[in-house]
Amino acid sequence: MSIHPSAVIAVGARIPSSCTIGPYCTIGPEVELGEECTLISHVVIDGRTRIGAHNTFYPFCSIGVPPQDLKYKGEPTETVIGDGNTIRECVTISRGTAGGGGITRLGSGNLLMAYAHVGHDSQVGSRCILANSATLAGHVTIEDDVTLGAFCPVHQHCVLGAHAFIGGGTIVTQDVLPFSLTSARRENKAFGINKIGLERKGFSPERLRRLQKAYRYLLAAKLNTTQALEKMRALEGEDVALLVEFIERSERGVIK
């Protein structure tokens, strides 16, 4: 095991011999690391934190730290992180709260750029990108393959649908439609499907065509949401069905 002499590792921490722990890192007694994780330097990992394999943590990030919630009184809550994530400089990921489910969760294959924040009880899927200073308040859900632009704050309890792309500087206060390109100019709007991003992920022309037709009903036709959903239900394809289901279960309303 490669552990720098200046690192402070509490008794009880579980660290495989394949991990690399750099200078001035601090690891708490209830932390469990997977194979081949790398802590470059000045990394703090604390609390009941379980981390998978092949994760890289850059300097000054803080993982599993107490939530920024005045109701938190030291309850034994958790942080769970999957495999193959890249956590860049000064990222903060807070552990969960007893009232919010108790677990903050990050999937696999994510990139969290510098100064991103994942608030307590948030649930982030896999293969997501949180650009610089993207900020998740507590209880946010991000589904798989979402890109959240720089300097985007996300309000509590919002849901960001799968494959969505949110432009930098967008203040997210409602749910973001899956597959959408959503951004703020004068006000937050969905501008249709994230066509380029979906093509890069292997979506066929037929899948894109069906999604574009669904979005025309939702955004371009002079229909209210209920009328648009009736039209969309008649379309074929799992992607459209996912979109319809997302809108129907939204509690905060969706950005149109």
Q: Tell me, what's the pLDDT at 221?
A: 84
CATH number, residue 242: 1.20.1180.10
Question: The whole model's pTM is what?
Answer: 0.92
Evaluated on CA atoms 157, 162, 167, 168, the torsion sign reads positive
Tens digit of pLDDT at every position of the chain (256 positions): 799 999 999 999 999 999 999 999 999 999 999 999 999 999 999 999 999 999 999 999 999 999 999 999 999 999 999 999 999 999 999 999 999 999 999 999 999 999 999 999 999 999 999 999 999 999 999 999 999 999 999 999 999 999 999 999 999 999 999 999 998 865 677 888 999 999 999 999 999 999 999 999 998 888 899 999 999 999 989 999 999 999 999 998 998 8
In a shared domain, residues 232 and 138: no
Hey, is 109 helix, strand or coil?
A: coil
Closest CA to 118 of 145, 84, 88: 88
Contact 94, 110 (CB under 8 A): no
What contacts 4, CB < 8 A, 6 or more positions away? 21, 22, 23, 24, 25, 41
- Whether residue 256 lies inside any domain: the answer is no
- Whether residue 189 lies inside any domain: the answer is no
- Whether residue 204 lies inside any domain: the answer is yes
- Whether residue 151 lies inside any domain: the answer is no
Distance CA 95, CA 83 (A): 18
CATH number, residue 64: 2.160.10.10
Hey, is 217 helix, strand or coil?
A: helix
Contact 171, 153 (CB under 8 A): yes
In a shared domain, residues 17 and 96: yes
Output the DSSP codes for 208-242. Answer: HHHHHHHHIIIIISS--HHHHHHHHHTS-SHHHHH
Question: What domain range is 59 assigned to?
Answer: 2-142
In a shared domain, residues 132 and 203: no
Residues belonging to the active site = 120-121, 138
In a shared domain, residues 228 and 122: no
- Whether residue 92 lies inside any domain: the answer is yes
